[in-house]
Amino acid sequence: MCLAIPARVVELLENDAALIDVGGVRKEISVALVEGVVVGDYVIVHVGYALNRLDPEEAEKTLALFAQINAEMGASPI
């Protein structure tokens, strides 16, 4: 199973790279596959590559769902 997650671009770097933020975690990725990425864009990230840009509202909804799932999983005994 593959999982691609939405992330917000916080900084553009040299050589088609960018710094992204997902829930306070920052990571350097490649934006070579997506044209026109700017700081503040949301992108779908899979194995270190941005695959496409996302509508900010849809990205926020998805991230909120991830946060809700995480909270519920953390609250339940396993």
CATH number at residue 9: 2.30.30.140
- Using the predicted structure, report yes or no on whether residue 69 has a pLDDT greater than 90: no
Number of domains in the chain: 1
Are 37 and 51 a contacting pair, CB within 8 Å? Answer: no
Q: What is the DSSP string of 52-77?
A: EEE-HHHHHHHHHHHHHHHHHHHHS-
Residue with tokens 């995480």: 70
Measured in degrees and rounded to the nearest 5, phi and psi for residue 3 equal: -130, 120
Both tokens of 33, joined, read 């596959």
Q: What percent of the chain has pLDDT over 90?
A: 68
Predicted TM-score (pTM) of the model is 0.83
- Domain containing 38 equals 5-75
Question: Tell me: the pLDDT tens digits for 3-37?
Answer: 788 999 999 999 999 999 988 999 999 999 999 99
Residue 50: closest CA among 34, 66, 70, 71:
34
Higher pLDDT, 12 or 64: 12
